[in-house]
Structure 1
Amino acid sequence: MRPVDNRTVARYTMVVIGLVLATVLLLLLAYQTRQVLTWIVIAVFFAVALHPAASWVERRVVRRRRWLATLLVFLLAFAFIGGLIAVFVVPLAREGAQLAGDLPKLITDVRAGRGPVGALAERFHVLDYLQSHAEQLRGYAAGLGAPTLVVLRGAATSVAAVVTIFVLAYLMVLEANKVVDGFLGLFDRRRAERIRRVGHDCAKTVTGYLTGNLLISVVCGLLTYAVLAVLGVPFAGLIALFVGLVDLIPLVGATLGAVVGVVAAFTQSVTAGIVVIVFFVVYQQVENHLLQPLIFARTVKLNPLAVLLAILIGVDLAGILGALLAIPVAGIIQIIARDLRDTHRSRLTADTEYPPVSYVDDPDSSDHALQLPRHPAAGEAAPTR
């Protein structure tokens, strides 16, 4: 038995301790910078989604001027988002001002039991509840001023997050080709082509997810507008737009939009409210169990069961952000796993077709002779083992 070298043991011990400490420090750093890391992850997804458009504009429109192609794509994206905000915010501000002007009359009608809101308040004894809990409600109202600073700070953080994400995504799209070529240059040609192919498939998965999610939201918004317009609910277009936007959030988005739609329908009539409740219950089941799995199965090429499981796990791990990123992450994991499986199978096939060189003992010599695999000639039976 060989003696144990104390210096070797000490050296390996120090290496293990160093790796453990480095891992702990890396985890602590990731925890402390989790907000910035979240912004980076979101920016990566936006960059992956917009990179094909920038490449197309670069090839077909501006002829190898990457900065101009990227600028045009992001200007179009800003114009699209700005248009959505204008369509959503401007009517909301106008109708909010009108509501503030009509508020005294609305309160009078509610107290008198007139109008749809007054009838609902009288039917469900809302006024009696407000009168019996007046002191408690005043306490809640007095406490609303305390978290004002927190709300303002959260709004400022949200604005900073949006600006940072767009800047990061812009720079990622602008420098994508240089970064990818530099990274692939670290590997040999065969492995670089494999990494490029897998990365291209992952990018298609992210783009397919965003396209599929947008398609589902458009379907939800159009159906909501049709139902509200037929029932004569006011501001049907505005409510449908809100429902379509929040429906971008898997699983819970349709529920958030349904609350607003149902409340607006009940202000029109009780019948309209009940019809809208039935519509959203039926539609949510159809979206969660039919539309979403089918569309994502075609765009992301995931099994419908895998889509549902990925969303549930993502929600449990990271809330709304986890729900948004669960499907493309599951698609990327599937692509990498499939590539590893195919590579392993190809290696097994190659080993079967071309057996490795073996050394056998030469009976006439004490040295080892190199024995190459012998393939049978034409018409010759294969040797049996």
Structure 2
Amino acid sequence: MGTGQRQGIVPRRLRLLRAARPAGPDVPDETKPPPARRGGGGAQQSPPGRAEELVPLALRVSAGWSWRLIVTGAAIYILLMVVGRVRIVVIPIIAGLLIAALIHPLAHRFQRLGLPRLGAAFVALFIFFAVLAGAAVAVGFNAANEIPTVSDQVSEGVEQIRGYLTDGPLHLSQTQLDDLVDDIRRNLANNRGRLVSGVISGASVAAEVLTSLLVALFSTFFFLYDGERIWSWIVTRFPDAAEDRVRGAGREAWYTITGYIRGTVFVAAVDAIGIAIGLIGVGVPLVAPLALLTFFGGFVPIIGATVAGVAAVLVTLVSQGVTDALIILGVVLAVQQLEGHVLQPLVMRRAVQLHPLAIVIALSAGGVLAGIPGAIAAVPFVAVVNRVAGYLAATGKRQPP
């Protein structure tokens, strides 16, 4: 092999070695930073990173929870304030949803009988309001017929109270009683302006009530007629991966609402029938209005039954005397015990699943925000939130990583 051939071969080998050398593991890559060394005090860290390591873990965790709770509380507060501002719209819509949940089986049955969806919604809504109007007319006639008797009994009761104040342990004189009556009349005369302003504010409240009734009427009709398509449209606004969970959450919410409203109607009806039987047995007037008050009071948990029972006892005390009032008090307590220990656990446990403290807090918050309608809607709202949150948490744990 000659010298020229060796010179041709050697440069070729050098070129091959130089071409393969940059891919070797020993050749440093100048375009990449050197890897950080693990362990030891020579590891390079930024000042914020070193400061974060100096903070105890418990303090970091508590700080993370704190700012998240503050942000969540602020969001809930803003939401409640917005609801309070537009309660004249929000409360009727919630009422319409509850009414639709109550009469939806009736509309569905009319559809199965062959009526179109529009006709079934109209007929179900008409039957519901016809029943309400019939009950109101019957109670009105009953109250109008018994008002004269009640007036006489109230007068007799007032005379009995006057006699008790003069001849009883207080030993008040007739002059003191007359002075007390004069003071009451004088206060009424001095506060006449406040009474007039109260009447004016009552007129504005009546206008709000009328507006709320119209909104509730339209909401109920459209929930019956087009509720499924409305919910489908809402579900499609979410990402595709979340549509199944949102649809399932809506199904759980609907089951909760329907179970709550049907159970509440059943429990309220039992309470009203029990109180009515007691009033009829004692011979108290105004049985129908008191029974109707008890029925509607059942829609406000804890507070409604108490107010209705107190009203029944007071009417009995004024019209029949102390003995009959004690009997009605016993009937009210018995009915409330039946509701609390038998009906509520059997009927409402599956629908509501709320602790009594949560119910009281929900009632208080709803009453502060929107009065009696807010107290009525607070418990089903909290029950729905609780049920949906449990469903989302359970489905989230079942999802594969």
TM-score, normalising length from structure 1? 0.70
Query: CA offset at residue 94 of structure 1?
Result: 3.0
Q: Does the aligned pair in 2 maintain the 1:313–1:326 contact within 8 Å?
A: no
Q: Residue 336 of structure 1 aligns with which residue?
A: 388
Question: For the structure 1 residues 135 and 28, does the alpha-carbon distance in structure 2 shift closer, same or farther, using more than 3 Å as the test?
Answer: same
Q: Residue 275 of structure 1 aligns with which residue?
A: 327
Query: CA offset at residue 343 of structure 1?
Result: 2.1
Q: Residue 47 of structure 1 aligns with which residue?
A: 100
Question: For the structure 1 residues 30 and 250, does the alpha-carbon distance in structure 2 shift closer, same or farther, using more than 3 Å as the test?
Answer: closer
Query: CA offset at residue 251 of structure 1?
Result: 0.7
Q: Residue 254 of structure 1 aligns with which residue?
A: 305
Give the secondary-structure state (helix, strand or coil) at the position aligned to 1:133.
helix
Query: CA offset at residue 205 of structure 1?
Result: 1.0
Query: CA offset at residue 27 of structure 1?
Result: 7.9
Q: Residue 156 of structure 1 aligns with which residue?
A: 207
Q: Work out the percentage of aligned pairs sharing the same amino acid.
A: 22
CA distance in 1, matches of 2:114, 2:211: 33
Q: Residue 118 of structure 1 aligns with which residue?
A: 159
Q: Residue 117 of structure 2 aligns with which residue?
A: 66
The reply on whether 1:139 has 2:194 as its aligned counterpart is no
Give the secondary-structure state (helix, strand or coil) at the position aligned to 1:86.
helix
Matches within 5 A, 1:135-214: 135-142=182-189, 143-144=191-192, 145-146=195-196, 147-186=198-237, 191-214=242-265
Query: CA offset at residue 190 of structure 1?
Result: 6.7
Moved more, 128-137 or 255-264: 128-137
The reply on whether 1:316 has 2:364 as its aligned counterpart is yes
**Matching residue's letter, 1:318:** G
Matches within 5 A, 1:215-364: 215-266=266-317, 267-288=319-340, 290-298=342-350, 300=351, 302=353, 306-319=354-367, 320-347=372-399, 350-351=400-401
Q: Tell me: higher relative CO, structure 1 or 2? Use CA pairs within 8 A at least 6 residues apart.
A: 2
Question: For the structure 1 residues 58 and 255, does the alpha-carbon distance in structure 2 shift closer, same or farther, using more than 3 Å as the test?
Answer: same
Query: CA offset at residue 80 of structure 1?
Result: 1.3
The reply on whether 1:37 has 2:127 as its aligned counterpart is no
CA distance in 1, matches of 2:338, 2:293: 20
RMSD: 3.2
Query: CA offset at residue 199 of structure 1?
Result: 1.4
CA distance in 1, matches of 2:323, 2:78: 60
Question: For the structure 1 residues 220 and 124, does the alpha-carbon distance in structure 2 shift closer, same or farther, using more than 3 Å as the test?
Answer: farther
Give the secondary-structure state (helix, strand or coil) at the position aligned to 2:265.
helix
Give the secondary-structure state (helix, strand or coil) at the position aligned to 2:284.
coil
- Which has the higher Rg, Structure 1 or Structure 2? 2
CA distance in 1, matches of 2:82, 2:391: 32
Question: For the structure 1 residues 160 and 93, does the alpha-carbon distance in structure 2 shift closer, same or farther, using more than 3 Å as the test?
Answer: farther
TM-score, normalising length from structure 2? 0.68
1:335-368 Cα offsets, whole Å, 9 max, x none, are: 3223223223322xx45xxxxxxxxxxxxxxxxx
1:121-173 Cα offsets, whole Å, 9 max, x none, are: 41245995642313321133323542221222222322222122112221232
Q: Which ranges in structure 2 are unaligned for 5 or more consecutive residues?
A: 1-44, 47-74, 167-171
Q: Does the aligned pair in 2 maintain the 1:314–1:323 contact within 8 Å?
A: yes
Matches within 5 A, 1:10-25: none
CA distance in 2, matches of 1:232, 1:75: 35
Q: Residue 366 of structure 1 aligns with which residue?
A: none
CA distance in 2, matches of 1:155, 1:139: 29
Query: CA offset at residue 314 of structure 1?
Result: 1.1
The reply on whether 1:95 has 2:146 as its aligned counterpart is yes
Q: Which ranges in structure 1 are unaligned for 5 or more consecutive residues?
A: 3-22, 352-385
Q: Residue 49 of structure 2 aligns with which residue?
A: none
Query: CA offset at residue 213 of structure 1?
Result: 1.0
Give the secondary-structure state (helix, strand or coil) at the position aligned to 2:299.
coil
